[in-house]
Amino acid sequence: MPSDRDLISDVLVRRLREARYVVALTGAGMSAESGVPTFRDAQEGLWARYSPEQLATPEAFAADPALVWGWYDWRRQLALSVRPHAGHRALVEVARRVPRFALFTQNVDDLHEQAGLAAVVHLHGSLHAPRCGTCGRAADVAALPPAPSREPGRIEPPRCLACGGRLRPGVVWFGEPLPAEALQAAMQAAGECDLFLSVGTSSLVYPAAGLPGVASRAGACVVQVNPAPTALDAVADFNLAGPAGVLLPRLVEAAWGAGPGPPRA
Ligand code: BJW
Ligand code: ZN
C-alpha cells in the first residue's frame, strides 16, 4: 500500500492535467537509475578521500588540476556509457501533453536530451563541453584523449590549441556564477508556471534550490519526487517519496493513461 508520501492523489492528477505551464527542475537523483552516482554519493578510487564539494571548486582545480580533470574525465566517460530510463521518458511525455513545458537541469550529463527533450537548459554546465580556462575557447571534445584502460585517476588537462592554456571542465563550480541566460530563464519560468516539478535534487545548492520557492510564492503547485527527505519537503505541496524511474511514469499514467500522447504543436 502506498503511504501518504508516495500517494499520487486525485488532486495532484487533476493539477497536472489542468496545468498550462509545467516547469521541471532535475538533480543528480534523476540520473541515478541510469547508473550515474548522485553528486553526494560516496566517491570511488583515488577520489574516495575527497568530498565532491572539495573537488567541484576553482580552488581545487588550481591546486591540483590533474586530480580534478581526472575526476571529471572519469565522470565524462561514465556519462557517455549510460542511457535514459523510464523517468526521463515520462518527462518527455509530460512535455508532449501540456501546453507549455520547460526543463532546467543541474545535471552535467545529457540524459534528458538522449531521451528526446529538445530544449534542455543546463544550469550547471556540461561534462561534454570543456573549454580553455585561460581564453575560454570551446575545446573539441572528440579530440580529447580516450579513456585510460586502467582505473582512471590523475590526468593532466590537455592544452588549448589557441593559447596553450589548460582546458577545464565546462561545468559550474561552487563560487562561480551560473550561465546568466539560463538562470534568468529559470527564474522567469519558475515565476510563470502553474506546476513546478522538482525531481532528484537535495535542494541544497543555490541558486537552483531557490527556484521552487519562487514558483510557490507565485502561486504554483510544487511537486517533489525524491525517495529521501530534503530541504524542499516543507515547501512542496506534494511529496512523492520514491525513485524517479518508478514514480514519474506512474504519474504520467495516472494523468493521461499509458498510450502515446498527441504530437506537440
Ligand atoms: C533520487 C533518486 C532517484 C537519489 N530518484 N531522486 C544561498 C545560500 C547559501 C549558499 C549560497 C547561496 N547562494 C549561493 C550560495 C553558494 C553556493 C551554494 O549553494 N552553497 C550551498 C552548498 C550552501 N552556490 C554557488 O556557489 C553557485 N554559484 C553562485 O551562487 O554564484 C554567485 C556568483 C555570482 C557572481 C559572481 C560569482 C559568483 C554555484 C553552484 C554550482 C554547483 N555546482 C555543482 C558541481 C557541478 C559540476 C559537477 O557535477 O561536478 O553542481 S555542486 C553539485 O550540487 C552539482 C549538482 O548539480 C548540485 C546539486 O546537487 P543535486 O543534484 O541536488 O545532487 P545531490 O547528490 O545533492 O542529491 C541527489 C538527490 O537525489 C538526493 O536528495 C537523493 O535522495 C535523490 N535521489 N536517487 C529520485 N532514483
Ligand atoms: Zn585558450
pLDDT at 147: 62
Give domain status of residue 247, yes or no: yes
Q: In this predicted model, what pLDDT tens digit does every residue of 8-52 receive, in sequence order? A: 999 999 999 999 999 999 999 999 999 999 998 877 777 777 888
Shared domain for 139 and 71, answered yes or no, is: yes
Q: Say if strands 195-199 and 221-225 run parallel, antiparallel, or are unpaired.
A: parallel
d(CA 121, CA 118): 10
The CA 40 to ligand 1 mean position distance, Å, reads 9
* Ligand 1 contact, 257 CB (< 6 A): no
Shared domain for 218 and 93, answered yes or no, is: yes
Mean of pLDDT over the chain: 92
pLDDT at 141: 84
Shared domain for 139 and 13, answered yes or no, is: no
Cβ(66)–Cβ(156) under 8 Å? yes
Quote the domain boundaries for residue 162: 37-81+131-168
Give domain status of residue 12, yes or no: yes
Residues lining ion ligand 2 (Cβ < 5 A) are 132, 134-135, 137, 160, 162-163, 165
Cell output for 41? 554519493
Give domain status of residue 173, yes or no: no
Structural domain count of the chain = 2
Q: In this predicted model, what pLDDT tens digit does every residue of 115-143 receive, in sequence order? A: 999 899 999 999 999 999 999 999 988 88
Cβ(77)–Cβ(35) under 8 Å? no
Which domain CATH number covers 139?
3.30.1600.10
Which domain CATH number covers 100?
3.40.50.1220
- Residues ≥6 apart with Cβ < 8 Å to 184: none
Shared domain for 142 and 67, answered yes or no, is: yes
Query: In sequence order, what are the beta bridge partners of 104?
Result: 25, 121
53 — pLDDT class (breaks 50, 70, 90): confident
Q: How many CA atoms lie within 13 A of 88 on its CB side?
A: 25
Give domain status of residue 144, yes or no: yes
